[in-house]
């Protein structure tokens, strides 16, 4: 294994002063930053920092504690092979999916298809303009799925924003035919309650089931009424996608009253998001298992009957988790990594004031068998490099690096960059490689950095919110065996069984 550059891993004791202390207090009190996940439909231009915070950032750059503005740095075992800047889609870059020689990159303005047959020189195959917040993306066979989580005037790709209080507004799932990668065709739309923030595919031979995660209902929203305590299930016939339709809304958090039975949030649990739906689900079809990151709750459930998932266990962390954001199984399905998106992806939380346990990953072992399985907390993991007050940074989307007998992930941390880390010992996780850029600005907190970082067929691909599409190569004795493992298709939230 190549050792990390010691001066880089021990650098950055930023954020100890009044600016960081104030941020920490706000996050702990459960203000808007703790309850609003992911950058919004129209992210703010940036928050001007105090003169002292800006001066601290400049001083840290001058001393070499953090890289200079936009400077690329990485550990010795990671190589930066390529960067493709944003082109015709200027919006926020979001999630990624893969199929054969292609990568599919979501963007709040639509999606982009890359030919990655030569990872050192990706080529744009198509760019599709279809605005809608998130545009979380997945592919299965000839179908591409796109989430819309902003209220639109209609379901077309020419829609405009429209208040959710208007009954005619639309948000939900869009389906495209990608049999011709150069010319994707929009073939279906399905409206779902509270839209679709993310989605997860449960593919079968004749149909694709789509689990739709959404949240934050309001009595003023005709199509997003409380309690919103479950997920929408869409059934899409492969040969007739135009017949796609919602076939159920399984309740995952049963309870009395208008708020359902999820985490009540503040004031009962200060600093924790109230559970009004799920943010993201990950399924492991080979094991009929799923893990849900649901705002104030983490859940483990069975998908043996895909139209009627059944909750097996549920956990909360009311001390350190503000917003349960995403989940990743290890290959043996005896562990789950949950992420906490403290600050909603728009705050600088990778600093000494916030500490190592908030805005981090929570590693849980799965114990027991069948319906008696339990999620048991083991430890937290957070990148060891402190970031500047101008850098939004928190745990975000990642995937397994498929090494038999090891549990290794690559993960995005927004402006904290891309981290490769080992959780084979779930009580002692450790970083083994990293890639990042210096801050976008030195005087303003502006949202940027890696939204998703995934391992696919020998390379790491990252979709950077501001800088575009990056390709990385990790060369390390721990990860090198993964180069022999190839899959035909990868939607990270539909985890493959790499060694079956």
Is 498 inside any structural domain?
no
Q: How far, in Å, CA of 100 to CA of 322, rounded?
A: 37
Number of domains the chain is built from: 1
Maximum Cα interatomic distance, the chain, rounded to a whole number of Å: 61
**Residue 227 sits in a domain of what CATH number?**
2.130.10.10
Asked if residue 352 is part of any domain, the answer here is yes
Interatomic CA distance for residues 399 and 284, integer angstroms: 13
pLDDT digits (tens, 9 = 90+) for 447-468: 999 999 999 999 999 999 999 9
Q: CA dist 391 to 65, 95, 249, 445, Å? A: 14, 20, 38, 6
pLDDT tens-digit map of 26-63: 554 444 333 456 765 555 568 888 888 888 888 889 98
Q: Which two tokens stand for residue 344?
A: 């909603």
Q: Would you say residue 258 has pLDDT above 90?
A: no
Does 278 map to a domain? yes
Boundaries of domain holding 464 = 6-490
**Does 104 have pLDDT greater than 60?**
yes
Cα 415 to Cα 423: distance, rounded to the nearest angstrom: 22
Cβ neighbors of 67 (< 8 A, separation 6 or more) are 61, 73, 436, 437, 438
pLDDT digits (tens, 9 = 90+) for 313-347: 999 999 999 999 999 999 999 999 999 999 999 99
Q: Does the structure show a pLDDT above 80 at 185?
A: yes
Structure token pair of residue 209: 């089931």
Report pLDDT for 81. 98
- For range 171-185, the mean pLDDT: 98
For 214, phi then psi, to 5°, come to: -155, 170
Tokens 């970031």, located at residue? 387
Residue 495 is assigned to a structural domain of this protein:
no
**89 alpha carbon, distance to own chain's centre:** 20
pLDDT of residue 500: 78
* 370: CB partners within 8 A, 6+ apart: none
26: left (phi over 0), alpha (psi -120 to 50) or beta: alpha
Where residue 429 falls (left for φ over 0; alpha for ψ -120 to 50; beta otherwise) is: beta
pLDDT tens digit string along 473-485?
999 999 999 999 9
Q: In whole angstroms, give the CA distance from residue 326 to residue 248.
A: 22
133 located within any domain? yes
Is residue 165 very low, low, confident or very high in pLDDT (cuts 50, 70, 90)? very high
Q: What is the pLDDT of residue 174?
A: 98
If you average pLDDT over residues 416-434, what whole number do you get? 98
Look at residue 393 and tell me if it is in a domain: yes
State if pTM tops 0.85.
yes
Beta strand extents in 130-241 (DSSP E only): 134-140, 143-148, 172-177, 185-191, 198-203, 207-213, 232-237
Cβ 408 vs Cβ 478: under 8 Å: yes
- Residue 25, exposed/middle/buried by CB under 10 A (0-12, 13-18, 19+)? exposed
CA proximity to 316, closest of 273, 345, 347, 277:
273
pLDDT over 90 percentage in the chain? 86
The verdict on residue 500 lying in a domain is no
191 pLDDT band, cuts 50/70/90, is very high
Q: Do the domain assignments include residue 496? A: no
Q: Which helix (H) or strand (E) holds 35?
A: helix 32-35
| DSSP code for 407 | -
Pairing between β-strand 444-445 and β-strand 324-329 as defined by DSSP bridges: unpaired
| Torsion sign (Cα): 384, 38, 57, 83 | positive
CA–CA dist 357, 334 (Å, integer): 22
Q: Which pLDDT belongs to residue 48?
A: 85
CA 122 centroid distance within chain: 23
**pLDDT tens for residues 201-240?**
999 999 999 999 999 999 999 999 999 999 999 999 999 9
Collect all residues with Cβ–Cβ distance below 8 Å to 35 and sequence separation of at least 6: 265, 273, 274, 322, 323, 344
Nearest Cα to Cα of residue 76 among 321, 433, 463: 433
Can you tell me the mean pLDDT for 154-174? 97
Phi and psi, residue 19, nearest 5°: -60, -50
């Amino acid at each position: 294994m190549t050792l990390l550059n010691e001066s880089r891993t021990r650098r950055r004791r930023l954020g100890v002063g009044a600016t960081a202390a104030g941020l920490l207090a706000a996050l702990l009190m459960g203000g808007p930053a703790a309850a609003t996940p992911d950058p919004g439909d129209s992210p703010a231009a940036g928050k001007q920092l105090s003169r002292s915070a800006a001066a601290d950032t400049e001083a840290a750059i001058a001393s070499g504690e953090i890289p200079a503005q936009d400077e690329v740095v990485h550990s010795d075992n990671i190589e930066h092979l390529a960067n493709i800047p944003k082109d015709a889609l200027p919006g926020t870059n979001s999630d990624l999916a893969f199929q054969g020689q292609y990568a599919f990159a979501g963007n709040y303005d639509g999606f982009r298809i890359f030919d990655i047959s030569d990872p050192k020189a990706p080529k744009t195959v198509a760019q599709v303009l279809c605005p809608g917040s998130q545009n979380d993306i997945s592919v299965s066979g000839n179908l591409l799925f796109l989430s819309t989580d902003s209220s639109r005037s209609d379901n077309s790709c020419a829609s405009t924003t429209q208040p959710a209080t208007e009954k005619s507004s639309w948000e939900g799932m869009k389906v495209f035919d990608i049999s011709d990668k150069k010319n994707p065709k929009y073939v279906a739309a399905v409206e779902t309650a509270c839209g679709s923030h993310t989605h997860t595919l449960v593919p079968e031979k004749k149909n694709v089931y789509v689990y739709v995660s959404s949240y934050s209902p309001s009595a003023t929203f005709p199509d997003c009424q409380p309690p919103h305590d479950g997920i929408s299930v869409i059934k899409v016939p492969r040969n007739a996608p135009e017949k796609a339709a919602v076939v159920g809304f399984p309740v995952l958090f049963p309870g009395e009253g208008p708020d359902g039975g999820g985490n009540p949030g503040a004031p009962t649990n200060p600093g924790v998001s109230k559970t009004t739906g799920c943010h993201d689900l990950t399924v492991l079809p080979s094991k009929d298992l799923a893990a849900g990151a649901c705002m104030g709750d983490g859940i483990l459930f069975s998908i043996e009957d895909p139209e009627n998932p059944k909750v097996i266990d549920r956990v909360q962390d009311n001390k350190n988790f503000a917003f349960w954001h995403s989940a990743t199984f290890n290959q043996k399905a005896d562990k789950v990594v949950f992420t906490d998106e403290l600050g909603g992806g728009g705050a600088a939380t990778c600093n000494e004031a916030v500490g190592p346990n908030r805005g981090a990953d929570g590693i849980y072992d799965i114990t027991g068998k069948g319906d008696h399985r339990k999620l048991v907390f083991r430890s937290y993991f957070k990148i060891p490099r402190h970031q500047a007050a101008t850098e939004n940074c928190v745990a975000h989307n990642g995937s397994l690096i498929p090494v038999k007998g090891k549990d290794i992930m690559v993960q995005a941390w927004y402006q904290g960059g891309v981290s490769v880390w080992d959780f084979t010992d779930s009580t002692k996780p450790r970083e083994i490689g990293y890639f990042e850029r210096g801050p976008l600005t030195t005087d303003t907190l502006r949202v940027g950095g890696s939204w998703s970082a995934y391992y696919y067929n020998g390379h790491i691909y990252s979709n950077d919110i501001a800088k575009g599409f990056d390709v990385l190569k990790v060369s390390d004795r721990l990860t090198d065996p993964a180069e022999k493992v190839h899959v035909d298709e990868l939607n990270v939230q539909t985890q493959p069984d790499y060694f079956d």
